[in-house]
Amino acid sequence: MAGLGKFLVRRGLTFVPTLIGVTLIVFIIAYVIPANPVRAWAGGEKATKAAVELIKAEYHLNQPWYDQYLFLIKGLFTNSLLDPLNQVPVFTNIGNRFIVTFQLALFAFFFVVLMGLPLGIISAIKRNSITDMVLRILALVFISTPIYVMAYLFIWVFFIHWNLTTLAGIPPAPPHQITHIPVIDSIITLNWSNFVEQVQRFWLPGFTLGIAAAGVLMRFTRNSFLEAYSRDSTLFLKAKGVPKSRLYRHVLKNALVPVITILALQFGGLLAGTPITETIFNLPGIGLYALQSVMYLDFPALIGVTFLYAIVFVTANLIADILYALVDPRVRF
């Protein structure tokens, strides 16, 4: 796997300009902002002049823009940049919240795969039938429904009517931590009661977050399956006398090559797509943190969050590339 190592290094290098660029964009947005954030950081209108000056000095706000930028980036890498709102290093804040977002994305991903793959395959196998038409429209409804409308509908059905979920607080992590993702730890340590608690709190937000992505995956799987089915190699398999089930196995394997790479990108998209879900379901994750940092003009936090999102994006792309090379013998690193 020497090829893989080289590939990772080469790809890693192309990330650098993207990461710099993304943080720079945020920084420019922050830099041109008309409102003076320092007063808000120092505690609002009542803040003393001395406190304001202290904060300005602490965040290099009196220095030229490039010095401010370097200060922010250096602070991120050494984790010495403090969130002015709670005086905790930004990446510590992000780390705590990322666990919640990651767990949310995991639940969503579970539903995406559970619904998107089989329904997409059924839709393709029964192409141009009534079943196919219904499933295609269903997928489009999933994509077309705003997440907040979906969320309130589900809250009404599953919380108010049937009370199948909890909507407040965050269940504690199981006592024995391995991966630091509570739901995975509770499975590994066979902590059944904690697992149930996690599921009760997270299944509905995950389901809500995942539904649009499930629609996208359904459509993608269907098209990919049909594309693979229409290839000459499928006709040759038929001419060989291969039974239907086996024929579909070949087609499915071919169809899954692009689907698997899409799955990696979708997981990245789920991680980045949480702001509205976390707001509605009151989950203290990255999305909520990002929203709050925009509302309170908390730029150190915003730069940190953006940096994280950019890392998520490039990592998802990288994983997609690696998976592609693993499932398709034609691709080499």
Residues 196-255, interacting with other proteins (CB under 8 A): 230-233, 235-244, 246, 250, 253-254
Nearer to other proteins, 186 or 274 (CB): 274
> Which listed range, 75-83, 89-97, 131-139, 163-171, lies at the site for other proteins (CB under 8 A)?
131-139
- In single-letter form, the type of residue at position 164 comes to L
In angstroms, give the least distance from the CB of 202 to other proteins.
21
Helix axes 192-229, 90-125, angle to 10 degrees: 50
239-276 per-residue burial string, b: 16 or more CB within 10 A, e: under 16:
eeeeeeeeebebbbebbbbbbbbbbbebbbbbbbbbbb
Q: List binders of other proteins among 305-324 (CB under 8 A).
A: 305-306, 309-310, 313-314
Q: 22: Cβ–Cβ under 8 A, 6 or more apart, which residues?
A: 306, 307, 309, 310
Candidate list 4, 54, 88, 137; residue touching other proteins; CB under 8 A: 137
Q: Give the rounded distance of the alpha carbon of 248 from its chain centre.
A: 32
In angstroms, give the least distance from the CB of 251 to other proteins.
9
Q: Classify burial at 75, counting beta carbons within 10 Å of its beta carbon; exposed 0-12, middle 13-18, buried 19 or more.
A: buried
> Which listed range, 5-13, 50-58, 165-173, 268-276, lies at the site for other proteins (CB under 8 A)?
268-276
What is the C-alpha separation between 292 and 83, in angstroms, rounded? 12
Candidate list 114, 141, 178, 196; residue touching other proteins; CB under 8 A: 141
**Does residue 145 bind other proteins (CB under 8 A)?**
yes
In angstroms, give the least distance from the CB of 137 to other proteins.
6
**Cα-trace Rg, the chain:** 24
Nearer to other proteins, 6 or 231 (CB): 231
Q: List binders of other proteins among 10-49 (CB under 8 A).
A: 17-18, 21-22, 25-26, 29-30, 32-35
**Does residue 164 bind other proteins (CB under 8 A)?**
no
Q: List binders of other proteins among 111-130 (CB under 8 A).
A: 128
What is the C-alpha separation between 227 and 14, in angstroms, rounded? 32
In angstroms, give the least distance from the CB of 78 to other proteins.
23
End-to-end CA distance of the chain: 9
> Which listed range, 76-84, 90-98, 175-183, 300-308, lies at the site for other proteins (CB under 8 A)?
300-308
